[in-house]
Each structure stands twice: as C-alpha cells, then as structure tokens.
Amino acid sequence: MKNVIITGASRGIGFELTKLFSAKGFKVIALSRNVSKLNLPNVTAFQLDISSEKSISKIVKLILNDFNKVDILINNAGSLINKPFSQTSFNDFESIYKVNVFGLAELIRLLLPCFHKSSHVVNISSIGGIGGSSKFSGLSAYSSSKGALNILTEMLSEEFKDSGPSFNCLALGAVQTEMLEEAFPGFKAMISPLEMANYIYNFSLEGNKFFNGKTIPVSTSNP
C-alpha cells in the first residue's frame, strides 16, 4: 500500500483527503498545526508549522524514521490575507510566502531521499494564481504566492524529470471552505470540500501517468 503525506490535514479539503486515504487503507502522515481531529485508522499525525524551517526539519526527521519511501505528497496547507495592497505590509507578504512557497519548497527538498521515479507531488494552488484569470482586490499576497507555486512546480518537474518524482499543480476555484469565507465573505461555492477531495484523491493516484509539470485549472467559477 502506498505511503501518503498530506499537509494542512486538519480542516477543509485536507481533512477530507486524510479521511479518504485512511478509509482506503493507505498509510498516511497527516501534518497540521492542529492534530486533535486526526486520530484516524492508518494515520500518523504530526504537528507542523509549515512556516518554520526548524519545525519542518524536525518533522521530516520523524517521517524518515517511519517511512522508507513516499509515494504521494499533497501540499495542501495554505495561508491567505485579505487586505488592500496599500495596507499589506512586508511582514504580511512574508508570512503568506513562508506558508505557500518557502515552507512547501523546504518540505519537498528535505523529503527528496524518500521519493522514487513513480512518486507524485501534488501542489494545491489557486485559479487566482494563473495568468489571465480573474483577479480580486485584497488578494495580492495570496494570488501572487500561488503564481510562484505554479512556476516552482514547472521548475521542479524539469529538474527531476529523469529521476522522479513527478510534480503537478491543481489550481482550484471556489470550494466551500473556511479559506473561501476569508477571501469572499458570504459567497457560497457550488463545490464542497469532500467533492474536491475526491477529485484530488484520484488525481494524486493517477494524474502523474498523464501529466508532469502542469498547472491544471480545477474550477467551475472564479470565485
């Protein structure tokens, strides 16, 4: 059975993904700041602050003790600030990029010894990070960080195209999560976290047979 790591595993899409993989008998390492809900069959939960280099290093050492290989990594953890650009400080940008880009990249880097040719890294991005998509005021830090993640995915797929793993990015549209409420208060999305988790679950298992280095819009609306 495959070994799976999921970040941002305690709420929304990440929690639904953790439950899906758990129910199917996969060995799951669930990473989140809050692990109180993650006492599930086949799941080992570790408390992780993805914005902290020290926390990432500590957790990867624990993972390496538990896993000799990683088949699937789903980088689902994300952070959002909804502020006018004129009020978005250096620290605001830094905090968003630490979660959405820097921490994610460091986690991948430290896990490289565990990946193999058929491993699949799935980065969860946003439709707002794709050039030419609709953009919304207040999300300059968030959307630009997701644009950076899209390009990072392409770069890593090129660098590891011969040895693996495969890297792909799913740019999600509106899903009814807490983060959507932060970005668009009062907006009701047509897609539930479970519905999107089902899509990501299947893509993580099969998508790298067909794609590598791709950012794929998964959206019926924006928002």
Residue 223, in any domain of the structure = no
pTM summary value? 0.96
Query: What CATH code is carried by the domain that includes residue 106?
Result: 3.40.50.720
Closest CA to 165 of 222, 204, 219, 125: 204
Residue 83 is part of which domain span? 3-218
Instruction: Output the CA angle 199-204-209, nearest 5 degrees.
Output: 115
- Kindly state whether residue 135 falls inside one of the protein's structural domains: yes
Q: Is 38 among the domain residues?
A: yes
In a domain, 113, yes or no: yes
Say how many domains are in the chain. 1
Residue 71 lies in a domain: yes
Residue ranges of alpha helices (H) inside the chain are 12-23, 53-66, 90-97, 103-111, 140-159, 178-183, 193-206
- C-beta of residue 136 within 8 angstroms of C-beta of residue 128: yes
Going by C-alpha positions, the residue among 140, 132, 136, 129 that lies closest to residue 184 is 136
Q: Are 192 and 176 in contact (CB under 8 A)?
A: yes
> Per residue of the chain (223 residues), what is the pLDDT tens digit?
899 999 999 999 999 999 999 999 999 999 999 999 999 999 999 999 999 999 999 999 999 988 889 999 999 999 999 999 999 999 999 999 999 999 999 999 999 999 999 999 999 999 999 988 889 999 999 999 999 999 999 999 999 999 999 999 999 999 999 888 988 899 999 999 999 999 999 999 999 999 999 999 999 876 7
Residue 87 half-sphere exposure, CB side, CA atoms within 13 Å? 7
In a domain, 194, yes or no: yes
Structural domain includes residue 211:
yes
